[in-house]
Amino acid sequence: MAPSERISRPGPDDAVQEAKTDEKVPDPLVVDWDGPDDPANPKNWSSGLQNVNVVLVSTFVLYSNLAATMFAPGAGALIEEFQVTNSVLATLTVTIYVLGFSLGPLFLAPLSELYGRLPLYHISNVFYVAFTIGCALSNNIAMFLTFRFICGCAASVPMTVGGGTVADLVPENKRGRAMALYGMGPLLGPVVGPIVGGFVTQSIGWRWTFWLITILAGVFSLVAIPVLRETNEDVLLERKAARLRKVTGKAFVARTSQNLTPQQLLVRAIIRPTKMLIFSPIVLLLSLYCAFVFGLIFLLFTTFPTVFEETYGFGPGVAGLSYLGLGLGMICGLILFAILSDKLMNQPRGGTVSRPELRLPLMMWFSPITPIGFFWYGWAANNHNHWIVPIMGSYFIGLGSFFIVMPAQTYFVDIFGQQGAASALAANTVVRNIFGTFLALAAPPLYGNLGLGWGNSLLGFICLGFAPIPVLFYKYGEYLRKRFVVEL
């Protein structure tokens, strides 16, 4: 058979092509964007529309993570009201939400590759608001834990799909600021949550921590209905091909079509995050690094009531302000990352091509700050120094943590692009939130045996053990990406 010859053909779409062969059945007409400036391509939308979509998705992520710990100061009141005596159940009132974060991406986020990102946002928002109301109205521990777990699953959608939205909208060399905004939620939300939750619980009761989240989520979910747009290139081109098939009766197919049934696409999308963890050393090691640091933050939270209420005599509301050190560190990290990340990607290099590994120097430079923060916080609290001293230590933990998690997420989005960003972030989110759920359970034996000084020092030394990872991938990341290719 003679080789195919691709030629341009006139038609309702300038980007339609047909492959002529000597077979009796012609090849389908391939649908693509109408050139590099096609306004239907999300990367060519107005900056205002792009920014609105990024801000909305980032807001979903922020309040989803805010809810992870906002209830924590009220957990004691709930345990007393529901007469919970089992310590594991008591811990799960907070952490089962994060467990939902872990399991949701495996089954929900991959659907965005098949049905688009927009339906998942809207459906997950409805479920999130409904079951947050359920948490507020719960009258026993079983009902509360069930509703809170479902809330966590629904909240996982913007956590994992949001990175894909950023990849759809923003070119690689301008992605740093957008990813900084999107990445603010998973780090800043859990820090701000206890501050707000402490005063709310003290003033109007633990149920109002859920009513406030319901109001916040409800408002932004309603705003999203007329404003948020579909950005997934595969879905948009498939819709375009379907319109052309309907109008012309010809066999138009999207350029991104993979000739698979919906069932095959769904199965492949579901197993893709697992494949990335197994076959990509970059995804595996960076996800473990991010997961460990994320888990440490939740573990650190368990020490704050003891340190600031018992040692320094803070009340429940004022004790929530002790989280401000972490929060300020993360805000500084957000500002610095937004300024520096794209500059590193775009600086002149004598004709050499920019590469995704240029996201990693910020992690290399700032990650050692995290163990310094743990040493500082641990020994200041252990020695009962002035209360501002351990808070200053937590500032450095927040700053360093941001520069571990955020460059890793942006690196994943850059190397996997629109086709695999959601799955790579799903893999990262699953591992990260499993650590966040269960690592906190190690706090009582850790600090009971070692105390605050050596307990936090041990965590700092383990953090130092991860420090060579970004250096390794900065030097050999390009080789490893070519050596360990994950079939998407």
Sheet with 17-20: strands ordered across:
5-8, 17-20, 29-31, 252-254
Give residue 17's pLDDT band: very low, low, confident or very high (50, 70, 90): very low
For the cut 60, the answer to whether the pLDDT of residue 379 exceeds it is yes
pLDDT digits (tens, 9 = 90+) for 20-70: 444 444 456 888 888 888 999 999 999 999 999 999 999 999 999 999 888
Can you give the pLDDT at residue 14? Answer: 41
Rounded mean pLDDT of the chain?
84
Can you give the pLDDT at residue 254? Answer: 80
Across 401-426, average pLDDT: 85
pLDDT digits (tens, 9 = 90+) for 163-174: 889 889 988 778
Q: Per mean pLDDT, which range of 265-274, 343-352, 363-372 is the poorest? A: 343-352
pLDDT digits (tens, 9 = 90+) for 210-243: 999 999 999 999 999 999 999 988 889 888 888 9
Across 178-204, average pLDDT: 85
Can you give the pLDDT at residue 27? Answer: 52
3-state SS string over the chain? CCCCEEEECCCCCCCCEEEECCCCCCCCEEECCCCCCCCCCHHHCCHHHHHHHHHHHHHHHHHHHHHHHHCHHHHHHHHHHCCCCCHHHHHHHHHHHHHHHHHHHHHCCCHHHHHCHHHHHHHHHHHHHHHHHHHHHCCCHHHHHHHHHHHHHHHHHHHHHHHHHHHHHCCHHHHHHHHHHHHHHHHHHHHHHHHHHHHHHHHHCCHHHHHHHHHHHHHHHHHHHHHCCCCCHHHHHHHHHHHHHHHHCCCEEECCCCCCCHHHHHHHHHHHHHHHHHHCHHHHHHHHHHHHHHHHHHHHHCCHHHHHHHHCCCCHHHHHHHHHHHHHHHHHHHHHHHHHHHHHHHCCCCCCCCCHHHHCHHHHHHCCHHHHHHHHHHHHHHCCCCCHHHHHHHHHHHHHHHHHHHHHHHHHHHHHHHHHHHHHHHHHHHHHHHHHHHHHHHHHHHHHHHHHHHHHHHHHHHHHHHCHHHHHHHHHHHHHHHHCCCCC
pLDDT above 90 coverage of the chain, percent: 39
Confirm if 152 and 190 have CB atoms less than 8 A apart: no
Return the higher-pLDDT residue of 77 and 9.
Answer: 77
Return the higher-pLDDT residue of 257 and 189.
Answer: 189
**Centroid of chain to Cα 388:** 31
Can you give the pLDDT at residue 140? Answer: 93
Can you give the pLDDT at residue 208? Answer: 95
Can you give the pLDDT at residue 11? Answer: 41
pLDDT above 70 coverage of the chain, percent: 90
Across 377-406, average pLDDT: 93
pLDDT digits (tens, 9 = 90+) for 302-340: 788 778 877 888 876 777 788 889 889 988 998 898 888
The pTM of this model reads: 0.78
Give residue 136's pLDDT band: very low, low, confident or very high (50, 70, 90): very high
Across 278-291, average pLDDT: 92
**Domain residue ranges in the chain:** 42-228+260-477
Residue 353 to residues 78, 224, 295, 356, 360, Cα–Cα distance (Å): 56, 38, 36, 10, 16
- Which CATH number is correct for 42-228+260-477, 3.40.50.720, 1.10.10.10, 1.20.1250.20, 1.10.10.60? 1.20.1250.20
Q: Give the C-alpha separation, 105 to 289, whole Å.
A: 19
Confirm if 54 and 162 have CB atoms less than 8 A apart: no
Phi, psi angle pair for 29, to nearest 5°: -80, 130
